[in-house]
């Protein structure tokens, strides 16, 4: 490998909105994510909607009549 062209990988902390956190190696010190494997619907089997502007409710209301 060539010297001085590779990034410096250091220990970093990954934090999720659900409260889960773990450590890994990355070029960034801390990373904050909205969904992790502990709270993602694909892995948990539960439906969790992240809706900041009411889009899901608007969609359900619009197409519930038909």
Within-domain flag for 5: no
Within-domain flag for 2: no
How much is the pLDDT for 52? 61
Cα–Cα distance, 30 to 8 (Å, whole number): 14
- Residues 5-55: tens digit of each pLDDT: 888 889 999 999 888 899 999 999 999 988 887 877 666 667 656 656 777
Handedness of CA 13, 18, 19, 20 (dihedral sign): negative
Give me the helices (H) in 1-44, please: 41-44
Range of the domain at 52: 10-64
How much is the pLDDT for 18? 86
Cα–Cα distance, 16 to 10 (Å, whole number): 19
How many structural domains compose the chain?
A: 1
Residue 27 sits in a domain whose CATH number is 4.10.80.400
How much is the pLDDT for 15? 92
pTM: 0.53
Within-domain flag for 22: yes
pLDDT score of 1 more than 80: no
Cα–Cα distance, 64 to 60 (Å, whole number): 6
Contact in structure between 34 and 16 (CB atoms under 8 Å): yes
């Amino acid at each position: 490998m060539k010297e001085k062209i590779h990034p410096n990988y250091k220990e970093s902390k990954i934090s999720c909105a659900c409260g889960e956190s773990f450590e890994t190696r990355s070029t960034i010190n801390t990373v904050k994510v909205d969904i992790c494997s502990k709270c993602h619907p694909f892995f948990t089997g539960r439906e969790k909607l992240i809706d900041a502007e009411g889009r899901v409710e608007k969609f359900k209301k619009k197409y519930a009549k038909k």
